[in-house]
Structures are given as C-alpha cells and as structure tokens.
Amino acid sequence: MRPVVAIFGPTASGKTAVAVELALLLGDAEIVSADSMQIYRGLERITNQPTEEERRGVPHHLVGCADPAEPYDVVRYAEAAHAAIDAILARGATPIVAGGSGLYLRAALADVAFPPPGEGEARARLRAEVEAAGPDAAHARLAAVDPDAAARIAPADTRRIVRALELSEQGASLAPTAEDALWSGETRHPTRLFGLVVDRSVLRARIDERTPRLLDAGIEQVGELLAAPEGLSATAVRAHGVDDIRDHLDGRVDRAECERRLAARTRQYAKRQDTWRRRLPRLEEVPADGHAAQIARDIAARLVGQPRYD
C-alpha cells in the first residue's frame, strides 16, 4: 500500500502551496486539511483557506465544510479525516494530510484516545466558579486535584483550567499518559511525515506581509458572522483574528492596532507550532525558505527512495 504523506508546517510556511505542488507532481493525490480553523465556512479569508484558483484542480477535503455556529471538536474531525483518508486510499490515490495543528495532524494520522467530551451544565458551572475565584486560585484548585495537568497549564489559561477541572471530575486528566498515542509514532496507515523548516526572520516577514491581506476581506466576513443571530460557536470564535476584528468593529481599536495584534498573535502561534514540530515522531525536516515547487520536488524525491515508515 502506498503511504499517506503528511506535511506539517507553521502558519505562513507555505504548506498549502507545497501540498498542491506535490499533488500535481504525484498526479493522483488529494489533500486532507489538518487545520483546526480552516474547517469553517464563512471564515475563508481570516483563516487563509485556499481559493479555487490556489487549489489548481487538486481535490481538497475538510476545508470550509463546517457550520461556524456549531461546535466542532477534534473528535469529530478525527472521524471525518479517517473517512477521507480511507476513501482516497481505496480509490488508489495518495492522501496528502497538510496542516499546522499538531493535535489535528495526529488525530488524522493515528487512532488517538481522546478524553471524554464535556457536559454543558458541568462546564458552565466550572467556568462560573473559575471566573469567580480568579486565575491563580483556580490554578491552585487544579494543582490540588491534578498536579500533572496543572504543571502543563499556565494560570492565565482559564479555558484549559476549566477543561482540566471538568475532566478531573470525570476521573480523567488533560495531561497525557505514557499510553497516549498523541505523540507516539503509531499511525493508522504507513505514513511519511515531512516538517517544513523556515527561518524565523523569513516567517516573520511572511506573517507581516499577509496580515493586511487577511484583514482586508476578513473584517467584512467576520463582521457578518458576528452579527448573525446564530453567531459563532465557542470553537470557531477562537480563530486568530476574530477577537481583534470584534474589538475593531466595536470601536475599541483602530485598523492599525487590529493588524498589529493579529500579526503578534500569529507570530506567537508560529512559535508554538515549532514546538509541536519538534515533538512529532519520525518527522523528516525539509528546508522551506524557497519556492513551493522546489520544496515539493525535494519531498517527491524523498518519496521515491527507501520508505521510512518501516
């Protein structure tokens, strides 16, 4: 069986263009997105979803297919990604899984045992308790019931503190165990995983260059979704830029400050993605400062060599 090809890269690394170029070189490939926010309809511009022109006739899966008013979590994504990958392989084609979320990439490639889902009433109660106690007291409460999870969560990250407390009440933990498949090398199918490595100064320049373009069209799109009666789900609202655009539309910040905030937030996210890259098992690093076509040729040349997934 031909392997699944996976491409991981930080935001603005050009992974979508590389995936398309590679698909064209292979001739029978289809792309499965592993981006946690490109899944949503109506957020095309702010999440930088590939346009029809950019897709160049290559089939794309799990892009712009979810209702932004409905919750969409990694468990639901994993089910859809597995189905897409299995169907592509059944057609005799090559799945190219491309994304910048380490969690979603591993969810697409492996059978990961995720913590149990949350319950609306319990989460609402815990969220109110955490807000009333304040972040430091809430973090101390978590440390008392699940010190391993507390060690991995910053006191200011109240959203994850609420989730960790919720799991502790269910007898589970947000901290991975030794058996956790998230960062193991186990995959559902033979897989070649390539990581795009971009010089930090190059990545910063790309982020600063593209941020105004994302906002040019994104402000109107996000504004329409925020004004709609159904609004945005608790997951979709976390897309980078949504909070900044809301503050801009409400008159709290001007366009220049909105742009500055989004660029800074994106650079911070790219740093976290670099940490994920170093944790992904059996990843083959690919220099990616150049053009997408050359990077794709580099990956294609490696694919015709000795398989690395045995």
Same domain, 202 and 105: yes
Residue 22 lies in a domain: yes
Q: What is the pLDDT of residues 170-186, one digit of tens each?
A: 877 776 554 455 556 78
Nearest to 248 by CA among 273, 210, 215: 215
Domain that holds residue 124: 120-169
Length of the chain: 310
Q: E strands within the chain?
A: 4-8, 29-33, 60-61, 94-99, 191-197, 283-287
In a domain, 309, yes or no: no
Q: Domain for residue 146, yes or no?
A: yes
Task: State whether 210 and 133 are in the same domain.
Answer: no
Whether residue 46 contacts residue 113, with contact meaning beta carbons closer than 8 Å, is answered with no
Residues 163 and 197 in one domain: no
Mean pLDDT along residues 100-128 = 83
> What are the tens digits of pLDDT across the range 144-166?
998 888 888 888 888 889 988 98
Asked whether 55 and 121 are in contact (CB, 8 A), the reply is no
Strand order in the sheet with 60-61: 60-61, 29-33, 94-99, 4-8, 191-197, 283-287
Number of compact structural domains in the chain = 2
> What is the CATH classification number for the domain harbouring 97?
3.40.50.300
Residue 310 covered by a domain: no
Which CA distances in Å does 166 have to 28, 124, 148, 177?
45, 10, 15, 17
Residue found under tokens 């059996």:
282
Model pLDDT, residue 148: 85
pTM for the complete prediction? 0.84
Q: Within this chain, do residues 198 and 162 fall inside the same structural domain, yes or no? A: no
* Position 174 in a domain: no
Rounded distance between C-alpha atoms, residue 309 and residue 243, angstroms: 41
Q: Are residues 142 and 243 located together in one domain of the fold?
A: no
Whether residue 295 is found in the same domain as residue 206: yes
Task: Tell which residue, 101, 26, 83, has the closest CA to residue 58.
Answer: 26
Work out the number of other CB atoms within 10 angstroms of the CB of residue 305.
7
Please, which pLDDT band fits residue 191 given cuts at 50, 70 and 90? very high
Note the pLDDT tens digit of each residue in 239-264: 999 999 999 999 999 999 999 999 99
Higher-confidence position of 84 and 234: 84
